[in-house]
Each structure stands twice: as C-alpha cells, then as structure tokens.
Chain A
Amino acid sequence: MLKILKYSFYDLMRSRWSYVYFLFYLILGFVLLFLNNDVDKAVITLMNIIIVLTPLIGTIFGVMYYYNSKEFTELLLAQPIKRSKIFMGQYLGISISLTLSLVLGLGIPFVLYGLFKSAAIFNFSLLLVVGTFLNFIFVALSYNIALSTENKIKGFGYAILMWLFLAVIYDGIFLISLVVFNSYPLDKFSLIATMFNPIDLSRILILLKLDISALLGYTGAVFRKFFGTNFGMFISMGVLVLWVLLPVLRMNLKLRKKDF
C-alpha cells in the first residue's frame, strides 16, 4: 500500500493542478496577512474559503484521479497486490498531497508573518486540522461515488452535486426547517443536523474558537452545554473521524464486489 501511496503521491505532486492549488493558498495567505494585517480577520476569511473550497477541490481531485487513472488501476490490479491496498494507497496519496498543498500553502506565509509569536496560532492550527479532515472526507466520498458510477460524466455530476448539497443546499433546508418549526425546541435537532454534515461540523468547530462561543449564550442550554465545553470539541472531532472512516469502510466493502 505504501508503494502505491508513494507513486500516487509523486504523480499528483507533479501535476500542474497541485501547484495551482498550492500557489492559490500561498498567495491567499500572503494577501490576507500582509495586505490586511489583522490576523483575526484573516483567520475568519480563511475559514470561509477552506470550508467551501477544500471539499470542492477534494471532490474534484478524487473523481478526476479515479477516472483518469482507471486503466492504470487495471494494470495495478493485475499485479500481486491486494485490491483494497491499491485503492487505499491512491486515496491516501490524493488526500495527503492535497493536504500538503493546503498546509504548506497557508503555512509558509503564516510562518513568515511570525505566527508562532501570535496568539492566533491555535485558531490557525485548528483551521489546518479541519481543512485536512475535509480533504480526507471529501476525497473518500468522491471515491465512493466514482467507484459506484461507471460513467465518468455521471460520476462527476454526482460528485459535484454532493458537494453542492453539503455546502449549500443542506444549510438552506436546515435554516428553513429551523424557521418553520420555530415554536418547537430545536436544540437537539440543530445539534444532530450539524453532525450529519461534515462541512457544518467543521465550520462550528472553528467558530467555537473564533466567535460563536460568545453567541452561544443566546441559543438554548443544550447547545451551550455541548459546544461550550471540551466534551463537545472531542465529540465533534470524533464525528469528523467517523466521517473519514465510514466512507473508507464503504469503499472497502464496495471493492470486494466491484468488477473492473
């Protein structure tokens, strides 16, 4: 598996898109820090971008890599390697290379800016951790979609739809149901609804450290109890781990039955 990982990783690390992605974050980091000079604001802007962009890029890279390397995968399948190892290798290769683009792209400007001396270091690291989670989650989800869809165009369409759903539509439905069922206690509902969307969950995790904690008092007690403590933080992290593990598990189950 490590060998496959290594080669997928090399392959991606040399692709133009990895560089474009890396440069994007690099420039973004520099612009935010050096033109703005407000670390708090930079972290908030970065959060907005990471929450939306990492899932999108993860999804696109995932499906693209799967379909583009289909024939090569077949060659690998004929080698004496376990199936699941080939795909886990590819999966990790993509996720790690995307994560590296993110961490280095944003890390370099922040280090140059003198982040280690800044109080924002924790928020910033949390941002990177969450971004990493989102990479791993969305590559896994898109690999699942690709594995289940033979047709490349369809697979691509489903993947983008999934992203659109989780990034925008889900929240729309969520908000509308909150407004419509205004008269009922909505604490637990919102808590659970958040857990079912990795993008929402990541957003909340970062906001907890940024500004929502000040606002939590305004919401119900369940909410405050959950998110106001480290317990909530651990649970949220745990759920994010589940969001990685479940698609990976499903991927492996699917692989057992899959014909190439």
Chain B
Amino acid sequence: MIEFKNLHKRFGKLVVLDGLDLEISKGGIFAILGPNGSGKTTLIKCLLGMVIPNKGDIIFDKKSVLDKWAYRNNLNYLPQIANFPPNLTVIELINMVKNLRPKDSDTEELIELFGLKSSLDKKLGNLSGGTKQKVNIVLAFMFDSDLIVLDEPTNGLDPIALIHLKEIIQKEKDKGKTILITTHIMSFVDEVADEIVFLLDGKIYFKGTIEALKKQTNNDNLEHAIANLIAKQYA
C-alpha cells in the first residue's frame, strides 16, 4: 500500500532520513517507534507531503505522492499539536474540513462519543487542551479513508476518551484500514499495534510483529525489548 524507496532527508547538516526503505502492506496497525530525533515525524510528514525529501520516492496506492496533493483525499491525519484558528467555533471548523474534502463524512457518532455536543458552538480559542485533542480526533476519523496517520494520538486525553480512541482504532482496523501511529506510550503500542517499525538514525532498524520483537530480544516486556534494541545498537 505504501512504499518508501531510498528516502533521504537532511535539515541543514542534520541527516534525519538516510536512505530509508520501508513497505507497509494494506490493513493493520503499524506503530512507528524510535528515540527522539530518529525521524518518525519526518517520515510521516514526507508521506503527507509536508516535508519534501531530498532524494527517494514514496509510493501510495501505486502512485508517487511527491508534488501531488489529490492522494491525500484517501488519507486521514491526526497532528501532534491541536491548535486551531481561535475565532472559529468547533462546528464551523468541522464543517470547514468537511467542506474541504469532496467525500462523505460521519461526525454525529464521533461527536457523541467524545461528548463534544455541548462544546460545538464554543470558540476554539476557549477550549482546553484535552477538548481540542478530542476535536482533533473527530477531524481525523470523520472521513472514510484507506490510510489513517496518528501522530501522538494519546496526548492530553482523559482515560475515558482514551478508551474510546482505542475502540475507534480497533473498529477502523476491522474495516481493513491501514493505520500508522507514532507514540511514546509503550502500553498503548502493546495494546493496539500489529506491527512495529523501529527507526534509528534515519533507517529502519526493525520491522515486524511485537511477538517477533520480543522473541528477537528475549524480552517479554515491550518497553524493555525496545530498550534492549537500542542498547544493542550502541553497545
């Protein structure tokens, strides 16, 4: 479904992606992990067209995405920081995003689920961080797309919302969607991810199921398994 081919990206002297190759098949939840600065967000942004790679290609649905924009219609994205125009109301924002995309959406259920009904007419500038994140989630899940990209989706969520989020992710997976997640919360990965992609120094260091990782590192705990993985690299 997605293919990164020999992807290079430099920010000034800093090499972030260094000839990265990665293939992600259709269906399933992929957790992209790695230490800070390993290139997770850059990778995702390359896919979204927000960062332009120096070299290499990205194929999505058999077509290159570089310099294109229409493919994003089949892609949902949840950004890391939820910050919206402060003078629009929640409902206006939702309608605006709907308006921007030429496809059907389902918001009723999501709004209900996250208890946003009472906040619909509030200005976005007056919302708390958690509520903003909920709005953010609604925006990410309201379209029916083949690929969903979640950048730190658990930020600022209360436990109930977190449960709902997991439910939605599961539901989408059951529909056969491909979901990419970056996060620091290992328990969350352990719970939802089918496969792990581990990035280090701009390259794929590990790709496989959680079980495979645990087996490879001889560690039953995911957090430790990953620590082990890094330790081995620097040993």
Contacts and interface: CB of A to CB of B under 8 A. Distances in A.
A7 B50 contact: no
A259 B83 contact: no
Contacts of B77: 75, 78
A83 interface: yes
B100 A79 contact: yes
B52 A80 contact: no
Nearest to B49: A77
Nearest to A69: B85
B178 to A, nearest CB: 16
Size range of the chain A interface in the assembly: 20 to 34
Interface of A is mostly: helix
A74 B79 CA distance: 8
A80 B85 contact: no
Given A7-B85, A71-B81, A72-B84, A257 B48 contact: no
Range, interface on chain B: 20 to 34
B229 interface: no
B96 A15 contact: no
Contact of A260 (B45, B72, B97): B45
A160 B202 CA distance: 38
B72 A78 contact: yes
A10 interface: yes
B188 interface: no
A236 to B, nearest CB: 36
B79 A75 contact: yes
Given A3-B100, A260-B51, A78 B75 contact: yes
9 nearest A-B residue pairs (beta carbon): A71-B83, A78-B77, A80-B73, A14-B87, A80-B72, A11-B85, A259-B51, A260-B50, A11-B87
22 contacts: A3-B96, A4-B100, A8-B85, A11-B86, A15-B87, A68-B86, A69-B83, A71-B84, A74-B79, A75-B77, A75-B79, A75-B139, A78-B79, A79-B100, A80-B69, A80-B70, A80-B71, A80-B101, A82-B69, A258-B52, A259-B45, A259-B50
Interface of B: 11, 45, 48-52, 69-73, 75, 77, 79, 81-88, 92, 96-97, 99-102, 139, 149
